Amino acid sequence: MANFEKTFIMIKPDAVRDRKSGLIIDRIERCGLTIERMEKCELNTELVEQHYAHLADKPFFGDLVSFMTSGPVIKMIVSGLDAVAKMRTLMGATNPLDAAPGTIRGDFAHDVNENVIHGSDCLDNAQIEIERFFGQA
């Protein structure tokens, strides 16, 4: 049975820089999800380090923080039936080389380190990330 859910989605600096944001937003809306809140902003190092703390011991962590603070992002609260799973499918695999054509990463991303979009992987993380990036929502 489908459940009404909210999830956190972020269009990353590479997609904003390459003017892919509108195409990505269109795909989100065309699949029946609603963008409840959306804001373009630049992230500070502290927030990015907190968000990616689970990757802090990885060799690419510094590059990830630099990338995520390199330009504006578009952060969103997206809602709808089974929003988390629907967005995970729409985004495609984290590595664009593994992402199917027709997915956001399959069509727009070129590198696993700059893969155009982030989406919460479960409802618990969606709530944490919504609070992290928007405060109480």
Active site (catalytic) residues: 118
24: its two tokens: 């990505």
Scan for tokens 């962590």, then name that residue.
61
Which residues have C-beta within 8 Å of that of residue 108, sequence separation ≥ 6?
Answer: 15, 18, 20, 23, 24, 116
20 token code pair: 């892919």
The string of DSSP letters for 20-36 reads: -HHHHHHHHHHTT-EEE
CA 104 to CA 125: how far, in whole Å?
A: 21
